[in-house]
Amino acid sequence: FFRSVASPPSSNFLLLGPSGAGKTAFTTLLEAKSSPASKKSQTTHTSQTSTLITVTLPPSVPTGSNKYRSINDPSLKEATRNPIRYRLKDTPGHGKLRQTQGIAELVSMSSSKDLKTKIRGLLFMVDTAALVDEATLRDTASYLHDVLLVLQQRALGKGKSSTKRDAEIPVLIAGNKQDLFTALPAGSVREKLEGEIERIRKSKSKGLMDAGGGAGEEEEEEEVLGDDDGKGIFSFKLLEQVGIKVDVVGGAVKGDAEEEIGSGVRRWEEWIGMCL
């Protein structure tokens, strides 16, 4: 079929992550890149509500359905004429707003059968310069843990009786602020988050065991992330058993002044492209 220029964007991406990670800065940048005419103010402040924007994928970014596009490929010209658009939902990362906004959004978008709201991919943004701080690491990892648990429950088909399993939702951990010299590289970000989630997992399963000994009052059964009853050591790889793929990719919304604007988010756009 032919994609007409006016066709609405058909894919949704959800942007989660703790406060201050740079979600709104990223959203603002993508919006500015998509429609250079409507340059928005570059200043951000703590978000209190979600916002949905429509973004144009740069024609030079390959899509999953068109992996082998080369510069001479006629489909590149086609992509330039009929750019692919997608929707991105920016959510507030403040701890008090996560359950009612980010997580709630994830639950509703991931169970949606409607193409208009169905989710194609999940971006979880972290501040890679702030993870050396224990409290920030704990806060970031606990939010990520809760997000991955929602995806795992969905993947295992629990809580909802759906016969036909939907495709799993891929996760991109967008390691932002790589421009700062204190920033951790993607590999360390992965290790730190995995290590901290392991701690959270341990204390949760211990809590469950303790509660299990109590009388009557049965705590709602909550599985352990990684679904191995907490026996092994947590890694994102463990989630591949239930079909959830997690990538950690570094980048920067605010890059060097000399660099082309938006070049620091190129690899995240490539990840988005592969989901399309």
Counting every residue, how long is the chain?
276
**Own/partner pairs for 75-81, CB < 8 Å, 24+ apart?**
81/5
The span from the CA of 225 to the CA of 214, in Å, is 23
What number of chain residues touch ligand GTP (CB under 6 A)?
A: 21
E strands present in the chain? 12-16, 51-56, 85-90, 119-127, 171-176, 246-250
Smallest separation (angstroms) from Mg ion to the CB of 268: 16
Rounded to the nearest whole angstrom, what is the least distance from the CB of residue 256 to ligand GTP in the complex? 10
Alpha-carbon span 218 to 170, nearest angstrom: 33
- How many Cβ atoms from other residues are within 10 Å of residue 19's Cβ? 19
Nearest distance, CB of residue 44 and Mg ion, angstroms = 6
Name the region of 148 (left: φ>0; alpha: ψ -120 to 50; beta: rest). Answer: alpha
DSSP state of 128: T
Taking phi over 0 as left and psi of -120 to 50 as alpha, with beta for the rest, 229 belongs to: left
Residue 128 interacts with ligand GTP (CB under 6 A): yes or no: no
Q: Give φ, ψ of 171 to 5 degrees.
A: -120, 130
> Rounded to the nearest whole angstrom, what is the least distance from the CB of residue 43 to ligand GTP in the complex?
8
C-beta of 51 vs 112, nearer to ligand GTP: 51
What's the closest the beta carbon of residue 211 comes to ligand GTP, in angstroms? 32
Among 11, 47, 101, 140, binds Mg ion (CB under 5 A): 47
Nearest-approach distance from CB 24 to ligand GTP, in angstroms: 3
User: Does residue 176 touch Mg ion according to CB under 5 A?
Assistant: no
Q: Which stretch binds Mg ion (CB under 5 A): 30-38, 40-48, 67-75, 208-216?
A: 40-48
Give 91 or 153: the residue with its C-beta nearer to ligand GTP: 91
Retrieve residue 25's tokens: 């800065």
29 binds ligand GTP (CB under 6 A): no
Which of 11, 12, 24, 178 forms a contact with Mg ion (CB under 5 A)?
A: 24
In the list Mg ion, ligand GTP, none, the entry touching 180 (Cβ below 5 to 8 angstroms by class) is ligand GTP
Task: Report the interface residues with ligand GTP, using CB under 6 A.
Answer: 17, 19-25, 44, 46-47, 92-94, 176-177, 179-180, 252-254
Task: Report the interface residues with Mg ion, using CB under 5 A.
Answer: 23-24, 47
